[in-house]
Copies of this chain bind each other. A is one copy, B any other.
Amino acid sequence: MEQALRALWSARSIAVVGATERTGALGRLPVEFLQRYGYQGAIYPVRPDGAEVLGLRSFPRVQDCPVPDGPVELAMLMVGAERVPTAVEDCVAAGVSTAVICASGFAETGASGIERQQQIVQTARAGGLRLVGPNTIGSVGVRAGQVTSFSPLFSGVETQLVDGSLGFVTQSGALGYGAVSLAFERGLGLGWVVNTGNEADVGALEVMAALADEPDCRGLLAYVESLDDIDRLRTVAASGLPVAVLKAGRSAAGQRAAASHTGALAAGDRVVDAALRQHGIVRADDVDDLLDIGDAFDQPRRPSGPRVAVVTTSGGSGILAADAVEAHGLELATLCEPTSLALAEIVPAYGSTANPVDVTATVMSNPELFDQALDLLVADPEVDIVIACFCVLTGRDVDGVVTSLARVAQGSGKPVLVARTGAEHLSPTAGSRLRAAGLPVYPTPARAVRAAAALHQVTGAGRRVALGADRGHGHGMVPHASMSERELKDLLAAAGLPVPTGQLVAEQEQAGAGVAQVGGRAVMKAVVPGMTHKTEAGGVALDVTVDTAEQTWKRLAGLGGQVLVEEMVDGGVEALVGVAPSPLGPVVTVGPGGVLTELFDDVALRVLPVDAEAVEAMIDETRLGAMLAGPRGAPSADRDALVRVVVEVAHLVVDWPDGFELDLNPVRVLPVGAGARILDAVYVAPNEDD
C-alpha cells in the first residue's frame, strides 16, 4: 500500500491520460514539466488518436503502454470528470498502482458529484488501484524531477525546484502550490509535495505516514482542512519526525451543535489543538508560520531544552525577542556568572552582558571579539538555543557574522537561529549564506523565537507524545438512551465510580424514610423525561431534612415525573468531566464544573485513551489545578480521586457506541482523603438531538 503511494514521488513509469501538445491545455503540462525538470523514468502520453506529444509516442489506453518491467506505476488523469470513470477502469485493467485524478466536478459540487466520486472509488478498490484526488493539482518528487502536476508554478520562467529534506502534503491545490512557490523562493527545500484534493481514497495523513518512511525525509509540513484518521495520526507521530500542520477551518462556522456542555466545549477546533499537541505535532498559525517552522526543522541541530540566549546589537531586537520567548513558552537563559563576567571583558558599557546580550555594533564588527562573545554564550551550560538578532546588516559585517555563527553552531551542536530585521538589498547574499551554513533566517526576532519554540516542542527534550496509553477494555456496561439519571449513576457505581447513595421514592409518605436512609440530609431531584436543566426548572431541592421531606417531595412530584432522593454532599471543589465525540474519536474533557463551566469556558481536552499522567496535565492546564490546591488557604481537595474518576471513565466508555456524549457535572471533589462524588450525570445517546 505504501509502495503505491511512493509512485507519487518516485514512479519509474508515468502515463499521462489526456495528454496533448496544444498550448494552454492542461493536458500538455505534466508532459512538458516532466521533460523540463529532468524526469528520467518512462513517460507515456495516453490519447485516443495515438498522436505524438512533445516528441513522445502516445498510446490509446493505459493498458496499451509498453512498460518493459510491469504495469505503469502512476497514471495522471488529465481528462474531464465525465471521462474519469472509463480512465479509472482502464487503470484497473492495466494494473496501475496509483491514479491521480485532476478533474473537478466530484464531491465538491453536490449530490451527483458525490455519487460519481463514490463510483470511481468502488471501481478502484475492487481492482486494487489507489486513487489520489479528484480535484488535485498533483504531486512532485523533487529529487527525481517528477513534476506530475499542472500547477502554473512550474511554468514560471524563473521557477527552479529546490531539493530538501522536508515533505509537504496539502489538501488544497492552489494554496498548497502557492506555499511551495514561497518555500522555494526563500530557499527552503522540499523533497516531496503531494496535493490530496478531495481525498476520495488517499488522505493527507496516509501520505504523511508514507513520507515518514522515506529514509531521507527529516520533517513534514502539511496544510489540511479536515483531520479524521486517528490511527494514521498515531503512525505519523510514532515516526518521531518533526511535524507541523496548518489546519484551516478554525472558525465557528465549522463547529457543530452539541447536546451537552461537554459536546459544546469539545467541538471542532479545540479537538484539533488537543489532538495535535497530544501527538507531538506543532500547529502553524499561517502559511508563513508553517514555512518559518519548516526552516527550523530543516537545519540539523535539535535543542536539548527551552533556554534561549539572545545575542544582538540592538536593544530593541533583544526586547522583542525576550517578549516572544515568554509568549511562546521558552525560557530566557540565566547566564552562569563566569559567562557574564567574561562577557563584561568584551562588551562595552553601553551594551548588556545580561541576556538578551547586547554585544554592540563595535563588537559585532570585530570578528575576533564577536567570536569570543559567541563562544562564551554557546558554551554556557544554561543555554540550549541561540538566537542572533541583527537589524541593518550590511555587506561589510556579513562575512564575519556568518563565519562566527556557523562555527559555534557546528561546534556546539546547539541550534542557532538568526533574525535579520532589515532590507535584503543591503546585503543580498546574506540570507542564502546564512541558510547554507545551517542558520535559518527570519525577518523579525519574534518569528525566529516562534520557530525555535516549534522546534523545541516537536524535537528532543520538548517533545511530549503519549502513545503508550492502552485504551484497555470496557466493562461491557453500556447505557441506553432512555436511562434515568439514577440508572446511569447505578451503572457508573457498578463500574467503580463514586456516586452519592440514593434511590427513587415513589410515595410521598416514604419521603422521610428516604431522607433518613441517605443520612438525614438529602438532595431531592425531579426526574422528568426531557428536563435537561433541572436547576433552572426548579427541579432540585438542596438540604432536605426528614421534617421537610414530604412537602418537598410533593412539590417536585408536581413537575410531572418521579422524585430521586440522594445523599447531600457538601464542600470541596466542583469539576466537570465529560466525553464527547469528534472526527478523531471520543474526546475526554476536564475543567472547573458547576456554574464556572459556562462562565469561564476553561477546559482541557484529550483524544482517548488517557492515562493518569495525561489527566494530571489536563487538570493543570485549567484553573481546576489551582482550585484543587485550595486557593486563599482553603483545604486541598482530593485531586487523586478526581484523576481516578477520569481514568476510570476513559476505560468505561471504550465499548460505548460511536457518537455518545457523557456529562458528569458537577463532580464534587472533597477534601484530601474524602474522595469525589459524581453529583449529576447526563448521557446523550448517538444521533439524539437536544
Chain A interface (Cβ within 8 Å of chain B)? Answer: 104-105, 108-110, 135, 151-153, 155-156, 158-159, 170-179, 181-182, 184-185, 223, 225, 248-254, 256-258, 260-262, 285-288, 313-320, 322-323, 325-327, 332, 349-350, 352, 354, 356, 358, 361, 391-392, 394, 421-426, 443-444, 446-447, 533, 535-536, 595, 598-600, 602, 623, 626-627, 631-633
Contact A182 to B322, CB < 8 A, known contacts A315-B257, A600-B600, A632-B595: no
- Which residues of B lie under 8 Å from residue A152 when comparing CB positions? 392, 394, 426
A110 to chain B, nearest CB (A): 7
A320 lies within 8 A of B248 (CB): yes
Q: How far is B626's CA from A261's CA once the two chains are assembled, in angstroms?
A: 17
Given A286-B446, A288-B444, A632-B533, also A349-B319 (CB < 8 A): no
**4 closest Cβ contacts across the A-B interface?**
A172-B316, A178-B391, A175-B316, A251-B326
Q: Shortest Cβ distance from A195 into chain B, in angstroms?
A: 10
Given contacts A105-B349, A394-B155, A600-B623, contact A254 B286 (CB under 8 A): no
| Cα separation A536 to B633 with both chains bound (whole Å) | 5
Q: Assess the B287–A598 pair: CB atoms within 8 A.
A: no
**Chain B residues positioned under 8 Å from A110 (CB to CB):** 349
Q: How far is the CA of A263 from the CA of B182 in the complex (A)?
A: 41
Chain B contacts for A153, CB-based, 8 A: 392, 422-423, 426
B631 touches A181 (CB 8 A): no
- What are 7 contact pairs spanning A and B, CB under 8 A? A108-B315, A170-B316, A173-B316, A175-B314, A182-B421, A257-B318, A257-B319
Query: What's the Cα separation between A220 and B545 when bound, in Å?
Result: 69
User: With a CB–CB cut-off of 8 A, which chain B residues contact A285?
Assistant: 446
Q: Find out whether the CB atom of B627 lies under 8 angstroms from the CB atom of A391.
A: no
Bound together, the chains give a CA A225 to CA B631 distance in angstroms of 35
Residues of B within 8 A of A177 (CB): 391-392, 422
Copy count, this protein chain: 2
Q: Which residues of B contact A257 (CB under 8 A)?
A: 315, 318-319, 322, 352, 356
Given contacts A286-B444, A391-B178, A185 and B327 within 8 Å (CB-CB) = no
- Asked if B223 and A316 sit within 8 Å, CB to CB, the answer is yes
A70 CB, nearest partner CB in chain B, Å: 35
Cβ contacts under 8 Å, A319 to chain B? 225, 248-249, 254, 257-258, 261
**B322 lies within 8 A of A253 (CB):** yes
A92 and B546 CA atoms in complex are apart in Å by: 93
Task: Give the CA-CA distance A320 to B178 in the complex, in Å.
Answer: 14
Bound form: Cα–Cα A177–B288 in Å: 23
Residue from the list B108, B323, B633 in contact with A248, Cβ < 8 A: B323
Chain B residues lying within 8 Å of A286, measured Cβ to Cβ, are 320, 444, 446-447
In Å, the complex CA distance between A182 and B287 comes to 20
B323 and A443 within 8 A (CB): no
Complex Cα distance, B252 from A316, in Å, reads 15
Check B156 against A424 for contact (C-beta < 8 Å).
Answer: no
